[in-house]
Structure 1
């Protein structure tokens, strides 16, 4: 029983708050020239709010949330309505019909955009908007809501609001109490963490106005005559005032003249929906299907808009309030919808005696809350530049327009991003041939030759987006690395594998680099440029000293072969290789029972990864390829082994299983050695066994040393 009673009380409060907000937003839009039509505007807004809340229950992934009319779209619509009425000199029924049509078009446009974005799973795009722009947008919204609240209080909603006139002594009773009440509500909601603060504050604000009327000696008739009360409204109720034939009187030219504002409303509503959905994820510590949420918002707005409702999305504060009051599941959204429906059906009599100051206080409170959050609290989390964007957008939104403020905010963020990104070092890693090798596993004497020539080759791996802001810095880095180097450089390799894009200015800089390298007789090799259509990087091949390879490994292998070809005479004089030593060791000890010739055809597997083995192999002729297994992917080629190489020694010495598979590339001939032979050698010729261990340890140490140096260079 207690749980049912608590649910009923919570539902009443949620319905009351949802209805009060909806009526407050209607009061912003249907003001001044439209004040005689406020009851019809409230009827359309409440009907739309009912549709939003009920459709949301069935279309959202999180059924425990409320869809309701929102302040930001209301503010835009109020500005657009006032502008269209003034520009097209509208009045009477035509002015109301045009405003109602404008609201409907904005809602339907928001709904269609939300549905398409959610259906195409593009809701994440809204999160790309820079945070300072969002902060500035919400701060500017807060200031305009503050001014709008003053306009509701004093009965003026002109675009050229004069604060000095509003704050005149004669109007103090109209705006003073709403301002005081909104400040106290702001303080109370931040100090007292209780779910009943907001609804109780609304009740106290209404009662305070009646006390003020009594102190000023006003009767209810006097208060209504002076504009202190919301009514009078037709006693037949708001629902009876809704006439869908009204749209036939609309001036559609005036409506579509506000297309830029409608686009802004769509943009702001979808951003707001995404942000509020993210806020609900944090508040309730659960993941929402954001695309489904946006699609649900879209469906609800289309149906609501067709019935004249204003754009809406998730009510973060209303949803949190409902859950704190003990509501959950579909009851949350239904409470908001039923509350608006009851006011729509039987609330005209009650609303006609409610003070205008109550709804002005609600709007002023929302404005102050946004200003407090985004101008005061956020200043500690934003750097000086980001905070200046918030201030700048707030200023331009009030003095010019919201669209101007958004453009300026985005432009400022873009300029700052370009400046910051241009200072980044786009060189992912820098190495030479001594540390960065191809996948070819070569004999020890060939490795020594390549090591000696390592300084002649500089390898630069680039990353990120190369554009006009980074191109000059890239050229200076390359000049310092290659042209101004104290060592003699023969090759410069630039790898573009990790580059996301290249603009035309970078192409021009690369052409200059290529020409400068030509003067220094340095070969420029480009890798990873294949398939980059539109970049024209292939055009660099027209320069005499420039060529390209598909991968960085192909380029390094090409240079290694070139270096070895230059030192062919020295290589032919090498007395012993690792394989020669091992073959002689086997022959001298006459341990033929431990050795076996192995012949492989193309594609035949020598070793399988994950298999235990007591053998090592000496590659006499042919070529082997080493593959690492990968889950749900094709095996990755990690090495190519040429003749005169030892194979399989690492698994033997580690005592583990084979970490990779080795496959023959073409026909290969190997010598298989059962490592039990080593036990025999250790007993018969301990000196030779020690030499064997030293040989293997030297090879492993050299590989480890080269890998360590490479990691150091890439991390520097």
Structure 2
């Protein structure tokens, strides 16, 4: 899928261009309908929060939330990296605040109630705004994606359930619970919530097959008209209906945006809701990122996730000062607008303006707004949250994940939202630990016969290592080693010695390669200590290779690398460990120091006795001091080298820009033969490890030999072919075991 890039930080020219994007009729229509839907949805959230003791303060809530919706919508419309980002107050933060508002209602007096709830809403939006901005500023927003998927689903389902419970409170004045079933089953109560339930079901069915914002608009308008037709047919009085709470209101005349005096705020009650405020932050951060990803998939445009966090953060911070509810991208409106080609900043701006227009001139209409339609809309929203995960999750989620989702729902319904969220995270962490502990921390196991150091060996040394290489064992570790995986590693390590009877030779050296290990915890060191004790019992050396600085500090604090450091010093790369172990086996095999392999023996193996001097005469002798460069990577290949004395090493640049040694060569080794034949640039940099003497055979000299002494050149080619075949065989053996 090709992705188009969008403006990350809109400038004046791009803003104007984005404003005029799309057909003007579609843009204006989409903006008008998006604004009406946002207004109605915002009012439904007001009724959700301001219920019970707070019901009489609904007009204040409408004023605060609509002004906040205007500020929020305009800010995000003009600063988002997505030009069609329609923003509105959101249901999840509202549900969380319902619980906080109820708790505050029960803990403060009548004078403190409205100022304290107002300040709770303000503080929540301000804190959410600051946190979102910081997540975007420090580019750590992706951390929220580490929340387990079934836990997010549990949040959604729990949110849906609480919205449904809140809808019943709005419709009947009673909470949906087992204790209230008898009350809710009376004829009077049935007339209040059954029509709203049927209305919500109709909305679900229609929008399932006709997912268009016009469908939602028509359903809302149709519900309102149907209610008033029934009222007209029954000849009921609007005053009686309003007194019986079948209609919203009455709303006072004049401006609804009035913030109460702050002198009566109960700051203790607000501070007690700190965990709840943090849950709102978590919800907002997660939803902003998930919504942005959903827009990227639907529109094939690449958004700046950090810019979305900063834009939404500043918008909530500004909205909070006027009493606005926490909000962000209304994903359904954004995607529906995109489908009809109305993804324009003008669409988002107009949606916010409509909220403001309604606040200034449309409030009298709320006196005639049916509570059943409002409650039905809340039921529809709650059921939508639940349907997506309870029905859709059955086929998408693993059984364990789906059960966790249901468990979170039970916790939220039984004990509360914060308790359910906390329990879900803890259970998800426990499941992850159990599943991760089943992962084999040993990525690969190889013997010294299968994996060799990059030290060039003489043929007789190769034969010894082929025979005795089983005495070396390499365990390549991976992942994070903690108490769950360390015990399994210990068991596998002990199995090495319990199967000794099947070995021809005893195990002498074991290396633990930490190159692919991301970290260890302190409890894992106990397992490593037991591995060292087992090694001592079987007279085996346990060496730690490729240990990072952080892991090394943990190991050294327990003295676990003492043997490795005493034997190898700071040369603890896996190749260094392998080379040291090979040298010990070679030393034991000869019972003396390894014999020096002379250049003369190589020539004797390559040519007839009478040809040795002829070939030596055409070579160029060169001396290199320790640390001197023979040739560099990507240099021209114009000669090969024979080592008569000393040692040299080949180095390459790894993907991280660091120099890494890939092979070392001693006396008698041949270097650079591939470049001599292919004329390809040097594949590595060669540096003298110690003072060395080398003989050079240039390409020009070899060409001359082929013309003047073809038999001599043929013997040389035959020997080089044999060397390359041996090296290829060794590489194939390693590859074969790596592919196991």
- TM-score, with normalisation over the residues of structure 1? 0.93
- Aligned counterpart, 1:360: 375
Of the candidates 445, 452, 463, which is equivalent to residue 467 of structure 2?
452
Structure 1 window deviating more from structure 2 (524-533 vs 362-371): it is 524-533
Secondary structure of the residue aligned to 1:659 is coil
CA deviation after TM superposition for structure 1 residue 604, in Å: 3.6
Give distance in 1, aligned partners of 2:144 and 2:470: 49
Structure 1 window deviating more from structure 2 (489-498 vs 213-222): it is 213-222
- Aligned counterpart, 2:739: 715
- Aligned counterpart, 2:14: none
- Aligned counterpart, 1:504: 522
- Aligned counterpart, 1:9: 29
Secondary structure of the residue aligned to 1:244 is coil
Evaluate the alpha carbon distance shift between residue 674 and residue 545 of structure 1 in structure 2; reply closer, same or farther with a 3 A threshold: closer
CA deviation after TM superposition for structure 1 residue 425, in Å: 1.1
- Aligned counterpart, 1:595: 619
Residue 331, structure 1, aligned to residue 346, structure 2: yes
1:116–1:295 Cα contact (<8 Å) kept: yes
Secondary structure of the residue aligned to 1:438 is coil
1:524–1:547 Cα contact (<8 Å) kept: no
Count of paired positions: 711
Give distance in 2, aligned partners of 1:14 and 1:122: 32
Evaluate the alpha carbon distance shift between residue 268 and residue 592 of structure 1 in structure 2; reply closer, same or farther with a 3 A threshold: closer
Give distance in 2, aligned partners of 1:404 and 1:337: 35
Deviation sequence 1:469-488 (CA, Å, 0-9, x none): 11221112112234423221
Evaluate the alpha carbon distance shift between residue 265 and residue 679 of structure 1 in structure 2; reply closer, same or farther with a 3 A threshold: closer
Residue 190, structure 1, aligned to residue 190, structure 2: no
Evaluate the alpha carbon distance shift between residue 167 and residue 272 of structure 1 in structure 2; reply closer, same or farther with a 3 A threshold: farther
Of the candidates 444, 469, 484, which is equivalent to residue 469 of structure 1?
484
- Aligned counterpart, 2:440: 425
- Aligned counterpart, 2:362: 347
Residue 517, structure 1, aligned to residue 535, structure 2: yes
Structure 1 window deviating more from structure 2 (675-684 vs 273-282): it is 675-684
Of the candidates 653, 662, 665, which is equivalent to residue 641 of structure 1?
665
Of the candidates 94, 101, 109, which is equivalent to residue 127 of structure 2?
109
CA deviation after TM superposition for structure 1 residue 62, in Å: 2.1
1:445–1:577 Cα contact (<8 Å) kept: no
2:444–2:477 Cα contact (<8 Å) kept: yes
Give distance in 1, aligned partners of 2:405 and 2:516: 35
CA deviation after TM superposition for structure 1 residue 52, in Å: 0.5
CA deviation after TM superposition for structure 1 residue 28, in Å: 0.6
Give distance in 1, aligned partners of 2:617 and 2:719: 23
CA deviation after TM superposition for structure 1 residue 339, in Å: 1.2
Residue 438, structure 1, aligned to residue 474, structure 2: no
2:603–2:612 Cα contact (<8 Å) kept: no
Structure 1 window deviating more from structure 2 (546-555 vs 331-340): it is 546-555
5 Å-filtered alignment, 1:276-291, equals 276-291=291-306
Secondary structure of the residue aligned to 1:540 is coil
5 Å-filtered alignment, 1:282-431, equals 282-431=297-446
2:476–2:512 Cα contact (<8 Å) kept: yes
Give distance in 1, aligned partners of 2:485 and 2:244: 65
CA deviation after TM superposition for structure 1 residue 324, in Å: 3.8
Of the candidates 27, 38, 42, which is equivalent to residue 22 of structure 1?
42
Evaluate the alpha carbon distance shift between residue 126 and residue 516 of structure 1 in structure 2; reply closer, same or farther with a 3 A threshold: same
Of the candidates 52, 56, 62, which is equivalent to residue 36 of structure 1?
56
CA deviation after TM superposition for structure 1 residue 44, in Å: 0.6
Secondary structure of the residue aligned to 1:242 is coil
Structure 1 window deviating more from structure 2 (193-202 vs 370-379): it is 193-202
Give distance in 1, aligned partners of 2:276 and 2:44: 21
Deviation sequence 1:233-252 (CA, Å, 0-9, x none): 1232xxx2333343333222
Deviation sequence 1:663-687 (CA, Å, 0-9, x none): 3334321222245666777788877
Give distance in 2, aligned partners of 1:566 and 1:340: 87
| Structure 1 unmatched runs, 5+ | none
Structure 1 window deviating more from structure 2 (586-595 vs 597-606): it is 586-595
5 Å-filtered alignment, 1:596-615, equals 596-613=620-637, 615=639
Residue 68, structure 1, aligned to residue 92, structure 2: no
Give distance in 1, aligned partners of 2:369 and 2:208: 26
Give distance in 1, aligned partners of 2:708 and 2:577: 47
Structure 1 window deviating more from structure 2 (68-77 vs 576-585): it is 576-585
Give distance in 1, aligned partners of 2:656 and 2:147: 35
Evaluate the alpha carbon distance shift between residue 134 and residue 351 of structure 1 in structure 2; reply closer, same or farther with a 3 A threshold: same
Give distance in 2, aligned partners of 1:265 and 1:592: 81
- Aligned counterpart, 2:10: none
Residue 534, structure 1, aligned to residue 558, structure 2: no
Give distance in 2, aligned partners of 1:163 and 1:652: 90
1:514–1:543 Cα contact (<8 Å) kept: no
2:334–2:343 Cα contact (<8 Å) kept: no
Deviation sequence 1:287-327 (CA, Å, 0-9, x none): 21111211111111112111111111111112223334543
Residue 146, structure 1, aligned to residue 170, structure 2: no
Deviation sequence 1:82-134 (CA, Å, 0-9, x none): 1211133x32x532222111111111111111122221111111111000100
Give distance in 1, aligned partners of 2:23 and 2:547: 68
Give distance in 2, aligned partners of 1:455 and 1:633: 35
Deviation sequence 1:399-436 (CA, Å, 0-9, x none): 11111111221122111111111111111221122232
Residue 224, structure 1, aligned to residue 242, structure 2: yes
CA deviation after TM superposition for structure 1 residue 220, in Å: 2.2
Structure 1 window deviating more from structure 2 (507-516 vs 628-637): it is 628-637
1:620–1:670 Cα contact (<8 Å) kept: yes
Residue 628, structure 1, aligned to residue 660, structure 2: no
Give distance in 2, aligned partners of 1:265 and 1:475: 44
CA deviation after TM superposition for structure 1 residue 598, in Å: 2.2
2:597–2:668 Cα contact (<8 Å) kept: no
CA deviation after TM superposition for structure 1 residue 692, in Å: 4.0
Residue 129, structure 1, aligned to residue 147, structure 2: yes
Evaluate the alpha carbon distance shift between residue 270 and residue 474 of structure 1 in structure 2; reply closer, same or farther with a 3 A threshold: same
Deviation sequence 1:537-571 (CA, Å, 0-9, x none): 65125679996652212211211222222234696
Give distance in 2, aligned partners of 1:289 and 1:167: 51
CA deviation after TM superposition for structure 1 residue 509, in Å: 1.5
Give distance in 2, aligned partners of 1:537 and 1:697: 51
Give distance in 1, aligned partners of 2:347 and 2:601: 80
- Aligned counterpart, 1:696: 720
CA deviation after TM superposition for structure 1 residue 278, in Å: 2.0
Secondary structure of the residue aligned to 1:7 is helix
1:435–1:707 Cα contact (<8 Å) kept: no
- Aligned counterpart, 1:199: 217
- Aligned counterpart, 2:184: 166
Deviation sequence 1:429-471 (CA, Å, 0-9, x none): 2112223222322333322222222111111121111111112
Evaluate the alpha carbon distance shift between residue 160 and residue 230 of structure 1 in structure 2; reply closer, same or farther with a 3 A threshold: farther
Structure 1 window deviating more from structure 2 (565-574 vs 322-331): it is 565-574
2:76–2:86 Cα contact (<8 Å) kept: yes
Residue 262, structure 1, aligned to residue 280, structure 2: no
Deviation sequence 1:581-638 (CA, Å, 0-9, x none): 3476684473566322222234443334434545322110122221224578244321
| Structure 2 unmatched runs, 5+ | 1-19
CA deviation after TM superposition for structure 1 residue 650, in Å: 2.2
Of the candidates 550, 555, 558, which is equivalent to residue 577 of structure 2?
555
Secondary structure of the residue aligned to 2:525 is helix
Give distance in 2, aligned partners of 1:226 and 1:48: 30
2:544–2:564 Cα contact (<8 Å) kept: no
Give distance in 1, aligned partners of 2:469 and 2:715: 28
